[in-house]
Structure 1
């Protein structure tokens, strides 16, 4: 019997067996009990793309202890790409003056204007250059749970120490949906949940945070609602960072906040560290308030972008829809710098590299 004939016979046998199986399967289908479609949605059994090496490198307790975290600015070259030399100088200034962590690609860093490729690249760059000296917290939140999962997987894969997650904005969801959203991203690593209803249009209520606190990966909450909410969490053992620079002194010393996630520390990291570390200091707080109020007279990061450009730390390149503050406001900033003391600020001479 030839090899060709043997192969043909084997193929015919397989074909006949498949035909018999199909007949049997059709018989089972005809005689099976009919089931109506269910209203319930099949649960998503997504397995996070985790690495034990990443898990061993990141520690939720380390994140919980941070007092000064800077929401770092992202500077640009004239063609709109990242100015990494200026960025590196900014991060070095944070390290030099005692900031313990940076938020990469947050609202201040204009993550909302980045592609995800840019976003993950900047997180990876920050880890590669500075990850041994400062904690790198990547803003990998999104109003799409699917995107948030994917970005967070990538962020941890390139080495970030923790993730910052906002609640889904614009296309708001139910409280149960909020819980499901955060439950989908928490398994991947240390996480800070960010509550800023003025931007998202939806408050994350204490019930949701208390539910999420059962996860060992919840490092804490960046809370912008106010000090009463902060005290509600801290009295129940939940770590909180103030998201409001103008309230952070009282949040830290009167309401139990661990520290602040700050915009102002881009400009005066040394003073913001003193405010969070030394002791209660109403005098220093009052001294900083004119600067803080100036920074937030328009939505962040417009004021910060303008200030850093005036100081020569970054090029005056703005990604739309952000534009500089008008001349009269820029003159006000010059006077604030003189009043607070020029030596307290990050200048071009001290943050070299922006050209």
Structure 2
């Protein structure tokens, strides 16, 4: 380790030292680690990992926008209240669905803090503070817990990827800060997190569990070994919950029909309800998430029809399909109170810079 040089000439202006004193020049502190985490030892108001493990319905909440591309916090608060009123137990803030990838970190942490401040007593707030940069993930997670989030969501380093040993080191760098859910979605990251990596990380008491998108066979591998897992696929979550041992779902479709998704996760095996929801789920993921969700919420009149690029609304044919889906399932099951509309192309606002 590098050492610091000592210099015999020290500025003493304004300070009187006795002659022939044994005073020594001040030495810089040398620490054994270059990373000093901003952790607090105060835990009385923290959420325990066990509290996170018990959540069955977690909504990956949408982030709505004003016409200039800033957050529409009024619409966001309405969405949050709809989730709470309809029985969601937790929310992911700034995840893929919430377009955290389109936020700067100031926006990201502000939205986590706002959610905790306004709703943290009624619902668990899980901040997406993951990154493909370990340094960014550490910094964002420190900030997220500092503003009061109950747990963190962490993805594996995407695009650039890393080795399997690198995966372990990346996650270990953030796990000790508080309750953590690891998110495995290789279709977006380009790299699967294999089960033996999760088994290694499960030795940490702060690992709450895994959001798994590979499928139900993988989910069963975890549940057979006592690891908590949430389905990350709305179309598979019913079977994951009742047939493969998943604790619940981290859901996109619950933005639209939170009450029905709560019933699907709480009320026991219900293939009839599951079949009723599958056409909506298929429609929702016809284009990459969150394009379908953003379009649907605008059609329901609960958010302004504003998109941050690179996302653009679904074409009119798909918007007509959504109107029919709402009628088939029943408007009363969907969020909001306005009649569902098709909307014209020129009703949508596409924000290029934000």
TM-score normalised per structure 2: 0.87
Aligned residue runs from structure 1 range 1-355, under 5 A:
46-54=35-43, 56-349=45-338
The secondary structure found in structure 2 opposite 1:165 is strand
Per-residue displacement from partner, 1:214-252 (whole Å, max 9, x unpaired)? 000000000000000000000000000000000000000
C-alpha distance in structure 1 between counterparts of 2:236 and 2:248, whole Å: 11
Structure 1 segments of 4 or more deviating over 4 A? Answer: 7-11
For 1:208 and 1:234, the matched residues in 2 are separated by 15
Structure with higher helix content: 1
How many Å separate the matches in 1 of 2:236 and 2:44?
A: 34
Corresponding residue SS for 2:42: helix
What is the aligned residue count? 320
Q: Secondary structure at the match of 2:307?
A: coil
Checking the alignment, whether the CA contact within 8 Å between 1:245 and 1:260 is kept in structure 2 is yes
Matched position secondary structure for 1:228: helix
**d(CA) in 1 for partners of 2:296, 2:305:** 10
TM-score by length of 1: 0.86
State the Cα distance separating 1:44 from its structure 2 match: 5.2
**Where does structure 1 lack aligned partners over 5 or more consecutive residues?**
19-42, 351-355
Secondary structure class of the residue paired with 1:52: coil
Give the CA deviation at 1:47.
3.7
Give SS of 1:338's match.
helix
Query: 1:58 offset after TM fit, Å?
Result: 1.7
- 1:50 Cα deviation from its structure 2 partner: 1.5
Deviation at 1:49, TM superposition (A): 1.5
Gap regions ≥5 residues in structure 2? 1-12, 26-31, 340-354
Q: 2:352 aligns to what? A: none
Find the aligned partners of 1:349 and 1:298 in 2 and give their Cα distance: 25
